[in-house]
Amino acid sequence: HPVFISLKTAIERHRIDPQLLRMLLSAFKQDCTKNRYETMEEVLDYCRRSANPVGRIVLRVFNRDTPENLIFSDWTCTSLQLINFWQDISVDRKRNRLYIPREISSKYGVDSESIVEGKVGIGFQKLMEELVSFTGQLMRRAEPLPELVGFPWDFYLRAVQKGGLKVLRKVKAMGVRILNERPSLSIFNMGAIFIAGATDSLARVAYEKGSRSAGKLMNKLEKL
């Protein structure tokens, strides 16, 4: 098939580890059969195979796959996958699918099946707050990635990170409504994130240029 021929060419050209593709296939197969998770470790293992390989492949293609970058990329991709899970609760529960681990929901007296049925108690808000907090901390741990990857990809990565955190804030603010509504970013939100990402990137470029100029000036002064 032409698709697989092209894929083989891309794998060879960019020296992509085939294991990354096997991990994606493994996650896809799991998603076809598994619709409940007992522990957060199970959820994170799924993210490790469904999301992290994507980031690693992108870094490999652009020759930015240093050991340090891969760690930050994994945190970014995992947190984005978790954000998508919490964002899509209203959609997934109607498909009898739930990514909220039972070990966490049970802490707040919330039964997994009650979430699927859309009938939860007061503990649900606290449950979502813990999930949002955990995911937000993971995303913030990945904040150095844009600067490490460098221009022009840093702008895109900052926008992705800021957008993810914005969605998390919306998830937290919605509370129980998350069972029936899917939070999304408005055009205004996306515009603000776009500007913020660009501002951060330009500020860093200006700072670096300023630092280089200052360094050159110091070298000249030392020669006087």
CATH of the domain at 26: 1.10.600.10
Say what the pLDDT of residue 3 is.
Answer: 72
Provide the number of structural domains found in the chain.
1
Scored b (16 or more CB within 10 A) or e, 190-220 reads eeebeeebeebbeebeeeeeeeeeeeeeeee
Residue 180 pLDDT more than 90?
A: yes
Selection from 21, 154, 181 nearest residue 76 by Cα:
154
Query: 52-56, 130-134, 150-154, 183-187: which has the minimum mean pLDDT?
Result: 183-187
Residue 7 pLDDT more than 80?
A: no
Say what the pLDDT of residue 224 is.
Answer: 36
Helices within 52-186 (DSSP H only):
52-61, 67-87, 89-93, 102-105, 112-117, 123-141, 145-149, 153-174
Q: Can you tell me the distance from the alpha carbon of 161 to that of 157, in angstroms, rounded to the nearest whole number?
A: 6
H-helix or E-strand containing 219? helix 187-223
Selection from 151, 148, 154, 149 nearest residue 209 by Cα:
151
Query: 2-16, 44-58, 72-86, 186-200: which has the minimum mean pLDDT?
Result: 186-200
Taking residues 90-100, what's their average pLDDT?
95
Classify residue 12 by burial, with Cβ atoms within 10 Å: 0-12, 13-18, 19+.
exposed
**152 prior amide bond cis, ω within 30:** yes
Q: Give the pTM.
A: 0.80
Q: Can you tell me the distance from the alpha carbon of 116 to that of 135, in angstroms, rounded to the nearest whole number?
A: 21
Domain of 187? 2-223
